[in-house]
Structure 1
Amino acid sequence: MERRKFLRNVAGVAVASSVLPLTTSCKSLEGSATSLGASGNGGDEQWYQLGTGKKVANPTRKKTEEYDVVVVGAGIAGISAAVASARNGAKTVLINDRPVLGGNASSEIRVTLNGVNRLSTGLAERETGIVEEMMLENRLYNPQQSYPVWDHIVYDYVSREPNLTIMLNTQAIDAETKGNKIVSARCWQLTTETEFTIKAPVFIDCSGDGLMAAKAGALYRTGREGKAEFNESYAPAEPDGWQMGASILLQGRDYGRPMPYTPPAFAKKYDGDNANHERKINNYLDGYWWVELGSDHDIIDVQEDNRHDLMGYLHGVWDYIKNSGKFPDSENYALDWVGSLPGRRESRRFIGDHMLSETDLTGHRHYEDAIGYGGWSLDEHNPGGILDIKERPSFFHEKFKTVYQVPFSSLYSKNIENLMFAGRNASLTHIALSSTRIQGTCALMGQAVGTAATICASKGITPREVKQKYIKQLQEMLMRDDVYIPKVAANDPKDLAKKASAVFGSSTKSGAAKNVINGISRDIDGEINHWQSEGLPATFQMEWDTPIQLSKVEIKCDTNLHKNITMRKQPLSDWQKKSFIETVPPELLKELDLEVRVNGAWVKVGVKDRNIARLIKFNFDEVKTSAIRIRLKETYGHPTAKLFEVRAYES
């Protein structure tokens, strides 16, 4: 019987079952027949609770909870949103329908956490902020590059935020609205059989598919825009329903001895001899992203059909590798891990005040409400996916020489006043999505909406009002938290470092000392924005003519943003070694102290002896001082140290 017919027949049985009498009987523990009511809960004596000797009703678990900010979906965008919201003072809940955090980057799917990994210049332009903090910790604590260990590093990173509650195995399945605002989200937690009603003034949907946002009535679209609507050269002539597909990955392992392979019954033959030459089988360790299926109608509706078929195609590709005789070097390789959950690229795209389009990216349009950037190529996957193997798997229409801006007005709903979104469900055209869907870019969107949510919650305003009245505040908050916004220089009026009368280092190899207060915290587009010592140890000093009250000093150091730190199983080729780092970046400061001058004497107020972040924060009891001195002791291997920014604040 065909699988689709079988599913329909099963559905028919379920329907038939639903018209049975509402009362039936079953055997109780004592062996006598007990009538169960229509609710199926058996009244007050359904559950015989051993150990207590009690007969109790089957529990109906319902809870109502209230937060300042609700974030739905814990992929990299959702994590960044939730952590940003919590750190900036909002009581936040992060709701995720899977047992692990990370979404496509988790061990369940294992998509490489890419960002602006490589521009057409050959350089990376790596994202900083929350996403980099997680990746740096992974480099230190997970040198074996294990995805299950990465899951726990991410969980540790998120769970230690004191203002943040994590709800795993929980799906937001509905939304209650009042007027044009969401009042609450209705959630089901599978593992505890509990229905939650989650109330808040601000909601963020980072779930990718955006079920909660759709249930709330937020406007969205699917498919491909035609060329004319946004003047997109890479769009089809006429609009259609195609959505880029989902993929299932595999990981192979060399066992050092011959490893035969027999495909399962559901495997689908892969005709690799007639496949496009760009469907490369050049390693057996990282899988093949082009094992992909999309949809030209409702990609969510066919998810389970596509999952089954993708698993079959994946085994078909491995069967071709192992048993076609064309890959003798695969003899000792076997499957070490096979995915069962497809990683989706596209489904709903919600409509905001601005829809980011191809020409916005390629024309490097400037936005007054810019909150981050992207730069991955226009990477539109082949309609048909693995069903169209004679076509190249992705078109890579255009690569960028430098990064483009992402505006805040593409990250909140046009018609639901207290709803924001970040990631692949943002307000984008299909062609723009081909670049912005990359997880590093999604992380910057997430950090932006999480930060904006705290402004909304504290001021009782909508995201649109943030854009209209408080966008400079949002930008300054993001840049202080180490988000780079192209063509925007930080100018926080509360930053006392801007008022220093003297800024100097003990030695200088490159860059001017005053670069650390110029508001641009990275070298980019050929411009130097750092100070670098000649060697280590070194000191960096700031002085004020009039003593200041001080309790916070924040430093941005070097993590070599022009190299990639994503996880990879495949050994690096010579050209990849020029653009990848497999360890903690050696340029990162590992040990440093902070001193303040009080009544002519230096007093130590902060010590970092195992730093693992680009943004280094020193918090101490407020003192009256006329100078600070940063003692740079050691990096993770580089002989010199760079500083890109130094800030100073009162309490």
Structure 2
Amino acid sequence: MVQKKHGQVVVVGGGPAGVCAAVAAARGGARTVLLQSRAVLGGNSSSEIRVWTRGATGAGNLFAEEMGVWGDFKMRNLYTNPDGNPVLWDEVLLDLVLKEPLLELCLNTYVDRVELENGRVAAVFGRNLLGDGYYRITGDIFIDCTGDGTLGVAAGVPFHLGKESQSEYGESLAPVEAEAATQGSTLLFYVKKADHKVNFIPPDYAYDMEYVESILNNGARIVSEDYGGSDYWWVEYGGHLNGALDEMQEVTLRLKKLIMGIWNYIKNSGKFNADNHTLEWVGNYPGKRETRRMITDYVLRQGDVETPHVFYDGAFYGGWYIDFHPSDGVKSMEDSCIQIPVSPYQVPLRTLYNSTVPNLLFAGRNIGTTHVAFASTRIMNTCALSGQAAGQLAAWCAKAGVGTDRIDEAAAAEVQLGLHRNDAFFPGTLVKDGKDLAPSAALTVSGTFGGTCGKPAGELLLLKDRFFTFPVRAGQDRAEALFNAPVAAALKGAWYTSPLPSRLLPGSPMGDVELTVAAGEHWAALPLPQIDAECFLTFVCGEDSTISLRTEAEQRTGFLCGRRDGTDYAYPCVRGDYDLLYGPATLTSGYNRPYGAPNVWISDHLPAVVELTWAQTQDIGQITLTFDPDLSKEIPSSHADKWADSHLFTPRPGMPPELVRAFTLELKGEDGQWRAIHTEKENWRRRYPIVPERPMAATALRLTVTATYGSPHARVFEIVVTPNLA
């Protein structure tokens, strides 16, 4: 018997894109159904596959960690699962999804049929894999988050499979002639060391040692008894099978043969100290990299990724490398991957739909990109952001009763505003919320941190390619750094400016510089280039020196130093005219993260108080606070106990000390009395929305921060106050 379900928005696929799409649609006011074919959420990041999530920050872009809906999941995971256990990551995803009152979750539900009517998707049919349940799910808007474009193909949407030629989209990184091959799939495995000897007898199907040796050390394919988890991402197969969608069993079996063969080689070749090592977990479900990419109203291409620009319908951003993997996988003699760094770039809404099927959207790996652009957008943090954008667009379409064929610039602006209200970021675009009451209020604070440098606590030896970055304002001509040199020496390098700095792409070149540093420890004036606009200024060392830059213990948001090939950042002792750098005006500026400037208010002490006072009574429906979780460091879904240095990953030791932990929010009524409407003692969120039970008439608002996770200062990016937006 076919059971009937209905959602204003129906999401198929429960990976990062699908989870974020469903939550965003539900938070946007749409009754939403999420269908997931597996027993757990998370897709490639789940405990079934265990690829850790990465994105723009992992590719060298500073202050660029992805937030929004995905940030809620990541911050909750950091709080409840600091060791990065992939099993607990599953539970974080499930827990937050189940909290959404407008979201119905259907796990173990495989969609095997799509029903079309008048050029639109009318329904999908899903079979519950644990029993006899069979569902017909109707909806107003459908989102294909399957990764394979399953709904899109059934609906007749054209797609790319393989590599386009250079001439098709004008891409220098594409092959001269089109190719059918794609990036392959991977199985991962975890290793642990026991307190006793553990023998390993391989299954008969495992590849023999001779075959394993034939693939090792080609293109940096290295094995070790201490490697595990994502260290074996290069165990790839299936890219030459034209997407392998009809041969995934063969791909999976080949990968299993490889893993068992590799482990047999480690255990029994006599070349490794592996007597006590054993397999803790082996994946049985491959992590796919690339299959179909839908042809949408706009197809993202190499130029959009390499040279970021502003789209009128910018909806989310990417920032991972253009990351090519050879289609021949482990059989290839090429490098196991080629990673080309990029700066954060906008991706438009139009990559999420082909308006010939106006009630079908796409999110995740199957959005509209070329193979070259896909090499960057395929990373899970970017897929998650695309899901939030698709969910927000779907909720807007469902509410307006229109399809994507009606998305003009005005409609795109409304969707963009909804995304902005939910912590989306569009590099290069400042979204102003016309309903935000905060900018019209008089703003006072208990005190502001003056931006002074703290006591020296360490140092960074300034070898070639080491860098330090700090914020500067237009016209700034003075800054000093605290150096320590054993003898007088020259420091040679170059200046770069950027709205967001990067250890790999530091920005626009502003000229070479040579600075003579005297012996001993002292402050030295930095010869700044001409600064025409507020930005981050980065110095990159041009050659090795014996000079060290002193560092401080606590981060001043916007100040970082380190090395090009590492993520163990420190905080440089740089000083200048920074009295107003962290002033309260940023609380209502429209920015809620570093871009061009730190854009954060930092208090001079705790407790810290912010007051907004209006000349007239306001009806307040929601207050949204945005805190600082240190966006310069990654927050992955999971990780193994050990990992290879090549990942360039530095784990967080715990919750960010900069994050606000405890606060109280009060409103002053028309009677002049303050009333506490919310008290939080154990905050883990970056974005914290507070919705009173009913809109409240108030003449003032007061935020009192009483504790952080370690910093002596409160840090708040933004306070947004809106009337009831329902």
Native 8 Å contact 2:267 2:275 kept in 1:
yes
Q: 1: distance between equivalents of 2:38 and 2:216? A: 38
Match of 2:620 among 530, 538, 550: 550
Q: What is residue 633 of structure 1 aligned with on the other side?
A: 706
Cα deviation per residue 1:302-342 (whole Å; 9 max; x = unaligned)?
111010000001111222222223322x3322100000100
Cα deviation per residue 1:26-54 (whole Å; 9 max; x = unaligned)?
xxxxxxxxxxxxxxxxxxxxxxxxxxxxx
Matched, 1:238 2:177: yes
Native 8 Å contact 2:443 2:584 kept in 1:
no
Distance 1:572 1:214, change over 3 A: closer
Q: 1: distance between equivalents of 2:324 and 2:19? A: 26
Q: What is residue 517 of structure 1 aligned with on the other side?
A: 588
Q: 2: distance between equivalents of 1:582 and 1:608? A: 23
Cα deviation per residue 1:120-152 (whole Å; 9 max; x = unaligned)?
46x351111111111111122223432222212
Q: Secondary structure at the match of 1:203?
A: strand
Q: What is residue 105 of structure 1 aligned with on the other side?
A: 45
Q: 1: distance between equivalents of 2:628 and 2:446? A: 16
Deviation at 1:393, TM superposition (A): 1.1
Q: Secondary structure at the match of 1:118?
A: helix
Matched, 1:460 2:409: no
Q: 2: distance between equivalents of 1:381 and 1:439? A: 16
Please tell me the residue identity of whatever aligns with 2:413. Answer: K
Match of 2:688 among 597, 601, 616: 616
% identity of equivalent residues:
33
TM-score (norm 1): 0.86
Please tell me the residue identity of whatever aligns with 2:141. Answer: V
Matched, 1:154 2:227: no
Q: Secondary structure at the match of 1:68?
A: strand
> Is 318-327 or 573-582 further displaced after alignment?
573-582
Native 8 Å contact 2:445 2:608 kept in 1:
no
Give the 5 Å matches for 1:235-384: 235-269=174-208, 270-271=212-213, 274-276=216-218, 278-281=220-223, 283-286=226-229, 287-293=231-237, 294-328=239-273, 330-384=274-328
Match of 1:491 among 425, 428, 432: 432
Q: 2: distance between equivalents of 1:160 and 1:452? A: 21
Q: 2: distance between equivalents of 1:361 and 1:632? A: 40
Cα deviation per residue 1:542-588 (whole Å; 9 max; x = unaligned)?
12222322232110001111101212223479998984314222222
Cα deviation per residue 1:253-286 (whole Å; 9 max; x = unaligned)?
1113332222211111311675325223354232
Please tell me the residue identity of whatever aligns with 1:634. Answer: A
Please tell me the residue identity of whatever aligns with 1:528. Answer: P
Please tell me the residue identity of whatever aligns with 1:249. Answer: L
Distance 1:277 1:393, change over 3 A: closer
Give the 5 Å matches for 1:172-187: 172-187=111-126
Native 8 Å contact 1:552 1:650 kept in 2:
yes
Distance 1:322 1:560, change over 3 A: same
Please tell me the residue identity of whatever aligns with 2:234. Answer: W
Q: 2: distance between equivalents of 1:473 and 1:116? A: 26
Matched, 1:471 2:403: no
Q: Secondary structure at the match of 1:562?
A: coil
Q: 2: distance between equivalents of 1:251 and 1:128? A: 28
Native 8 Å contact 2:587 2:718 kept in 1:
yes
Matched, 1:391 2:334: yes
Matched, 1:589 2:652: no
Native 8 Å contact 2:326 2:336 kept in 1:
yes
Q: What is residue 606 of structure 1 aligned with on the other side?
A: 678
Match of 2:3 among 63, 86, 90: 63
Q: 1: distance between equivalents of 2:643 and 2:657? A: 18
Native 8 Å contact 1:173 1:211 kept in 2:
no
Deviation at 1:296, TM superposition (A): 3.9
> Is 434-443 or 164-173 further displaced after alignment?
164-173
Give the 5 Å matches for 1:183-202: 183-202=122-141
Distance 1:413 1:575, change over 3 A: closer
Query: Pairwise CA RMSD of aligned residues?
Result: 1.9
Distance 1:422 1:607, change over 3 A: same
Q: 2: distance between equivalents of 1:201 and 1:422? A: 17
Native 8 Å contact 1:284 1:333 kept in 2:
no
Q: 1: distance between equivalents of 2:644 and 2:706? A: 33
Q: What is residue 152 of structure 2 aligned with on the other side?
A: 213
Native 8 Å contact 2:186 2:233 kept in 1:
yes
Deviation at 1:221, TM superposition (A): 1.7
Q: Could you list the runs of 5+ residues in structure 2 that have no partner in the other structure?
A: 452-581
Q: What is residue 428 of structure 1 aligned with on the other side?
A: 369
Q: What is residue 49 of structure 1 aligned with on the other side?
A: none
> Is 546-555 or 430-439 further displaced after alignment?
546-555
Q: Secondary structure at the match of 1:198?
A: strand
> Is 201-210 or 414-423 further displaced after alignment?
414-423
Native 8 Å contact 2:85 2:639 kept in 1:
no
Native 8 Å contact 1:373 1:405 kept in 2:
yes
Please tell me the residue identity of whatever aligns with 1:373. Answer: Y
Cα deviation per residue 1:181-201 (whole Å; 9 max; x = unaligned)?
111112222222222111111
Q: Secondary structure at the match of 1:234?
A: coil
Native 8 Å contact 2:123 2:136 kept in 1:
yes
Aligned length: 585
Distance 1:193 1:632, change over 3 A: same
Deviation at 1:625, TM superposition (A): 2.4
TM-score (norm 2): 0.78
Q: 1: distance between equivalents of 2:698 and 2:385? A: 36
Distance 1:536 1:574, change over 3 A: farther
Deviation at 1:63, TM superposition (A): 1.2
Q: What is residue 33 of structure 1 aligned with on the other side?
A: none
Native 8 Å contact 1:503 1:514 kept in 2:
no
Q: Secondary structure at the match of 1:405?
A: strand
Distance 1:68 1:273, change over 3 A: closer
Deviation at 1:534, TM superposition (A): 2.0
